[in-house]
Amino acid sequence: MTIHLHDFDGEHSLTWDVGGLAADAAVVAAGHEPNGYFWEGLVRFASPNIVEHVDFDSKAGMFCAVGS
């Protein structure tokens, strides 16, 4: 997995491509699809305080969080 961090005039974007991750088999075994929306939901569940500070723009093949 390669994590990308981009800086755009004070805004930051954290992204990674999903699929082919070591955790995919466990995610599927739990009845979920290991896509960007799954990882976004996991972040929202595991760390709800982050949701106040970032926006998400995840896609099926990519997780994306954007914030200052």
pLDDT in tens, 35-62: 999 999 999 999 999 888 999 999 999 9
Mean pLDDT score, 4-27: 93
Record the tokens describing residue 48, joined without a space: 């709800």
* Residue/partner pairs of 18-23 with CB below 8 Å, 24 or more apart: 18/60, 18/61, 18/62, 18/63, 19/61
Q: What is the mean pLDDT of the chain?
A: 93
Mean pLDDT score, 25-31: 97
- The whole-number pLDDT of residue 1 equals 79
This prediction has a pTM of 0.86
Task: Please spell the DSSP secondary structure of 35-65, one letter per residue.
Answer: SHHHHHHHHHHH-HHHHTTEEE--BTTEEEE
- The whole-number pLDDT of residue 68 equals 87
50, 43 contact by CB (below 8 A): yes
